């Protein structure tokens, strides 16, 4: 038997009471409107005829009016272009769907995957292509290492490519984040690494001023995170080393900065430049393409995308060194990565650091940590997946202090002969470099060895440099472009020079308005797309299924009298 819907009928007493309230409300509104009265807008009196420079003022007003009209016209044209692009994309998608039905789902699925790989700028092949560009264009290559696990940040394929490339290409190691390891450990690693390549101790600056943002925003943010602002250490030493090498070559040099994700490549460039010239973030793979930053007249820094970790690496190396999108990656991969990290650490130190009791396995550890931090799902169930993603971000970011010991014996890789080591150290003043490194180490504050977690490194991490060796994964979303859009969206080198600051004000205004319009158009497109999809889905909420007649809400806008 079907259940009858509850009646919407009210008692007369309640209905009359509502109607009375409505009448009183309308009466009150009319009374207030009568008191205020209708104020006519004041007419613009214009420029008085006795005013000096009247003609110039009128001419300026006319020019301002013309500029506003031109701006409106540009906005209109941009809107039309957006609509045209949308129509073309829809037409292309419809054509692809028809073709898929005709040829079959399997064949069309493969072709779609291929086109997506070619068009996706965030793809691994694109990263390899841009990284190769940086290495080829550089006179000096800086391989950035995380001081907590320097050996795990070294890529033998990259080092072999640079050392065996011929010519005068040099490779320097930059030991970044030295403030996160005990002082003795940092000294040991510097002594170990300097026997193979010239090594610079470095600590990047954080919370740098972004010159692309207006002052009012930076002031507001500075009020919140003023304590987090730090200066860089080792930047003068590195810059001096590069400038001296440039003088020996009698030319302006290009310095490529390469390394695995989250080792601090862009932060080093920002520290050398003194402003936030490159985008930085906790997420892995923020830099998508090669970017040129002019440090001075004789030195150009080339920022590069991260090295792609080879799938043949250990689970630990993949967890710490691969470009993982924590939002899209599966929970199994993230849990495996956390398990590998915990297995390579001292259990007692992990318990002390997170202030948690003893745990039997990784799942129990994540459950206890999620409960402690209040990361719970519906019904109070611990959210182990999200806490695992957060843990991975903490271990690659600058939150956790851990350190690994250098190998007991010095065994250089096969590609690094004594002749190659001497060639890499040529033209560099190693005595001055050692003194500057000692000064940097003395100036910093370090965590105590007891508070830093002991970590067992997995050794060098293999990377994929060649584009044809990349095992590309099929992208999950469809992206279709017309030929015209491909020409428009060809990647150029983005130069950040001091000349860019002196642009015309009117052009800036037009660009800002256009960006806002494009952003609004994209938001509206995604909004329409989501709602059109949700109409066809079976999991609609109950509130959407109700019609206007069935809604229980009382309409207070209608007067029932």
CATH classification at residue 243: 3.40.50.300
Check: pTM over 0.85? Answer yes or no.
no
- On whether residue 534 sits in a domain, the answer given is no
Whether residue 331 is contained in a domain is answered as yes
CA distance 376 to 478: 33
Helices (H), 171-283: 183-193, 215-225, 235-249, 265-273
Rounded Cα gap, residues 472 and 127, in angstroms: 11
Same domain, 192 and 300: yes
Could you list the residue range(s) of the whole structural domain that residue 363 is in? 315-402
- Does 139 lie in the same domain as 276? yes
Based on the fold, state whether residues 325 and 182 are members of the same structural domain.
Answer: no
Are 305 and 320 members of one domain? Answer: no
Q: Are residues 174 and 237 in the same domain?
A: yes
Q: Quote the DSSP letter at residue 7.
A: P
Can you give the pLDDT at residue 515? 57
- Could you tell me if residue 506 is inside a domain? no
Q: How far is CA 270 from CA 149, 154, 208, 209, in A?
A: 23, 22, 8, 10
pLDDT at 279: 74
> Count of domains in the chain?
2
Percent of the chain with pLDDT over 70: 72
Same domain, 391 and 417: no
The reply to whether 179 and 260 lie within a common domain is yes
Distance CA 340, CA 18 (A): 66
Residues 268 and 408 in one domain: yes
What is the CATH classification number for the domain harbouring 382?
1.10.1580.10
What integer pLDDT is reported at residue 201 of this predicted model? 92
Q: Which residues of the chain have pLDDT under 70?
A: 1-2, 39, 105-122, 207-230, 281-285, 323-331, 468-561
Task: Kindly state whether residues 388 and 422 are assigned to the same domain.
Answer: no
> Alpha-carbon distance 483 to 29, whole Å?
59
Is 555 inside a domain boundary? Answer: no
Rounded Cα gap, residues 459 and 320, in angstroms: 12
Tokens of 536: 């066809």
328 and 194 in one domain?
A: no
Which one-letter DSSP state was computed for residue 233? B
What is the reported pLDDT for 509? 52
Residue 80 inside a domain? The answer is no
């Amino acid at each position: 038997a079907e259940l009858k819907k509850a009646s919407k009928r009210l008692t007369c007493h309640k209905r009359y009471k509502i109607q009375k309230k409505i009448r009183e409300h309308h009466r009150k509104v009319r009374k207030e409107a009568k008191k205020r009265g209708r104020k006519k807008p004041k007419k613009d009196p214009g420029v008085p005829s006795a005013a000096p420079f009247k003609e110039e003022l009128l001419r300026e007003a006319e020019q301002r009016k013309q500029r506003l009209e031109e701006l409106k016209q540009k906005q209109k044209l941009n809107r039309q272009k957006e609509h045209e692009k949308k129509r073309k994309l829809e037409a292309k998608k419809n054509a692809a769907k028809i073709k898929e039905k005709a040829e079959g789902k399997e064949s069309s699925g493969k072709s779609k995957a291929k086109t997506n790989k070619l068009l996706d700028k965030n793809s691994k092949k694109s990263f390899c292509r841009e990284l190769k560009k940086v290495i080829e264009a550089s006179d000096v290559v800086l391989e950035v290492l995380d001081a907590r696990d320097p050996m795990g940040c070294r890529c033998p394929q990259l080092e072999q490519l640079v050392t065996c490339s011929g010519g005068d290409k040099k490779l320097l190691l930059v030991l970044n984040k030295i403030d996160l390891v005990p002082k003795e450990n940092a000294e040991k690693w510097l002594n170990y690494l300097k026997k193979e390549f010239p090594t610079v101790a470095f600590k990047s600056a954080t919370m740098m001023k972004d010159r692309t943002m207006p002052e009012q925003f930076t002031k507001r943010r500075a009020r919140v995170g003023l304590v987090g602002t730090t200066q860089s250490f080792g930047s003068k030493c590195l810059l001096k080393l590069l400038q001296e090498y440039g003088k020996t070559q009698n030319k302006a040099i290009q310095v490529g900065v390469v390394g695995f994700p989250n080792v601090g490549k862009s932060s080093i460039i920002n520290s050398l430049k003194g402003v936030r010239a490159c985008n930085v973030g906790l997420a892995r793979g923020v830099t998508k393409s090669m970017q040129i930053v002019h440090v001075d007249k004789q030195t150009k820094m080339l920022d590069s995308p991260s090295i792609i970790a080879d799938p043949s690496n250990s689970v630990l190396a993949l967890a710490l060194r691969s470009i993982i999108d924590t939002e899209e990656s599966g929970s199994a991969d993230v849990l495996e990565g956390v398990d590998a990290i915990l297995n390579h650490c001292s259990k007692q130190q992990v318990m002390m650091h997170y202030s948690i009791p003893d745990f039997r396995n990784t799942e129990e550890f994540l459950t206890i940590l999620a409960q402690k931090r209040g990361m719970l799902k519906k019904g109070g169930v611990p959210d182990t997946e999200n806490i695992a993603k957060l843990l991975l971000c903490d271990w690659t970011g600058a939150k956790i202090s851990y350190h690994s010991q250098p190998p007991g014996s010095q065994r250089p890789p096969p590609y690094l002969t004594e002749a190659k080591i001497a060639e890499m150290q040529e033209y560099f003043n190693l005595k001055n470099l050692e003194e500057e490194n000692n000064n940097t180490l003395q100036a910093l504050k370090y965590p105590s060895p007891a508070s830093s977690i002991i970590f067992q490194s997995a050794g060098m991490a293999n990377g994929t440099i060649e584009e044809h060796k990349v095992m590309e994964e099929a992208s999950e979303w469809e992206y279709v472009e017309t030929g015209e859009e491909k020409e428009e969206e060809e990647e150029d080198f983005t130069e950040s020079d001091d000349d860019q600051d002196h642009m015309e004000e009117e052009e800036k205004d037009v660009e800002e308005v256009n960006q806002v319009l494009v952003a609004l158009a994209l938001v509206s497109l995604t909004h329409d797309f989501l709602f059109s999809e949700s109409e066809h889905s079976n999991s609609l909420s109950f509130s959407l299924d109700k019609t206007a007649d069935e809604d229980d809400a009382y309409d207070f806008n209608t007067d029932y009298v």
